[in-house]
Amino acid sequence: MSVVTALDRPTGAIHALPSPYLLFLGDTVEMGFAKTALGLRDWAPDRCLGEWSLPSARVTTGLPRLSPAEAAAKGARAMVIGVANPGGIIPDSWMPELLAAIDAGLDIVAGMHARLSSITPLAEAAASQGRQLIDLRVPPADLAVASGLKRSGRRLLTVGTDCALGKKYTALAIARGLAARGVDATFRASGQTGIMLAGQGIAIDAVIADFAAGAVELLSPAAAPDHLDVVEGQGSLFHPSYAPVSLALLHGSQPDLFVVCHQPGRETILGHPGFRLPTIEAVIEQTVMLGRLTNPAIRCAGISLNTGDMTAEAAGRVIEETAAQLGLPAADPIRGGDAFERLLDACQA
């Protein structure tokens, strides 16, 4: 068995992942918890052959349904756990499917808090079959606490009214859009899906709290004055579970600019129905107030709206209304168009 962690250099580079993938959705019933599988489908479709799940699952990527053996026969090299359940655990109910993947000749890739290599049946099966167990949510060793000192280069952070509503997609789209304009821009991954896509990064929510902001400083190091790091945000400053991760990213990245991500129509925090979603205005105010600790010049560049469940007409209307209400460019980066170009203008300014 070969056990691989996400980091083989201090910069956070990861081993090249064996592809193409079979995406495993477990027994997930909420689309918000399948963001790893959806992100790979949308941003790396050439690496994804199909999906597999337990009968109780209620989500799908729309890819062909293939068993591990069928996927291996079609050329798959790894099964990627494409969901992130609360706590990042690997339930006993998943074990037969994970073992079947190993028996079919597939490696297993996971970004869960639980380590594949620490689960005895998986470790023994992988050793006997010569397969890899690849854990991505492993922080670098010997991290330093944050210095808070200003670094050269420029940074943009995506923040949100909630988790799982488009911070990664927004950061990827902005980095790609600016690069197409000739801007020296780099996407910096702070979560497991982003790491799978970018080939490097640090899963900030796996870092001990005292070192989290320092890990973000390492993630986005000093750079040329005209270089822009687009840092993938996590969680929300208003999330009762994940706000500490959001705050570490804010203080460690020292962003010059931030983009607020929001899903129109969402009313409560994902997984916490007793908590109302904050307004975009509240997120801007809170981000500026807390962000000034490490960058007094922090400002909001614009708004990213996740309108994937809306008609084009309704999406256009809410984008225009949001921009007018806040006096900031608003767009859905996935829909693109003139609205997104205006958002890119603001990110480039």
- Quote the CA–CA distance of 54 and 77 in Å, as a whole number: 20
- In 3D space, the residue among 159, 140, 153, 163 whose CA is nearest the CA of residue 214 turns out to be 140
**pLDDT at residue 16 in the model:** 67
Looking at residue 155, what DSSP letter applies? E
CA 31, 120, 139, 6 torsion: positive or negative? negative
- Quote the CA–CA distance of 169 and 123 in Å, as a whole number: 33
- Quote the CA–CA distance of 31 and 320 in Å, as a whole number: 27
Find the radius of gyration of the CA atoms of the chain: 20
In the block, which residue shows the tokens 């007018």?
324
**pLDDT at residue 9 in the model:** 35
What is the third-level CATH fold of 154-348? Rossmann fold (3.40.50)
Judge residue 62's burial from the number of C-beta atoms within 10 Å of its C-beta, 0-12 exposed, 13-18 middle, 19 or more buried: exposed
Both tokens assigned to 58: 């209620």
Pairing of strands 257-262, 272-276: unpaired
Phi, psi of 251 (to 5 degrees): -70, -40
What letter represents residue 18's amino acid? Answer: P
3-state class (DSSP) for residue 102? helix
Judge residue 128's burial from the number of C-beta atoms within 10 Å of its C-beta, 0-12 exposed, 13-18 middle, 19 or more buried: exposed
- Quote the CA–CA distance of 58 and 37 in Å, as a whole number: 14
**pLDDT at residue 343 in the model:** 98
Looking at residue 94, what DSSP letter applies? G
- Quote the CA–CA distance of 133 and 182 in Å, as a whole number: 39
CA atoms within 13 A on the CB side of 66: 22
- Quote the CA–CA distance of 331 and 316 in Å, as a whole number: 9
Q: What is the DSSP string of 166-207?
A: SHHHHHHHHHHHHHHTT--EEEE--SHHHHHHHSB---GGGS
Pairing of strands 268-269, 272-276: antiparallel
3-state class (DSSP) for residue 68? helix
The domain spans of the chain are: 2-135, 154-348
pLDDT in tens, the chain (349 residues): 433 333 333 444 444 689 999 999 999 998 888 989 999 999 999 999 999 999 999 999 999 999 999 999 999 999 999 998 877 889 999 999 999 999 999 999 999 989 999 999 999 999 999 999 999 988 888 899 999 999 999 999 999 999 989 999 999 999 999 999 999 999 999 999 998 998 889 999 999 999 999 999 999 999 999 999 999 999 999 999 999 999 999 999 999 999 999 999 999 998 899 999 999 999 999 999 999 999 999 999 999 999 999 999 999 999 999 999 999 999 999 999 999 999 999 999 8
- In 3D space, the residue among 216, 221, 217, 218 whose CA is nearest the CA of residue 233 turns out to be 216
In CATH, what number does 2-135 get? 3.40.50.720
**pLDDT at residue 1 in the model:** 44
**Is the distance from CB of 265 to CB of 309 less than 8 angstroms?**
yes
- In 3D space, the residue among 207, 199, 233, 193 whose CA is nearest the CA of residue 8 turns out to be 199
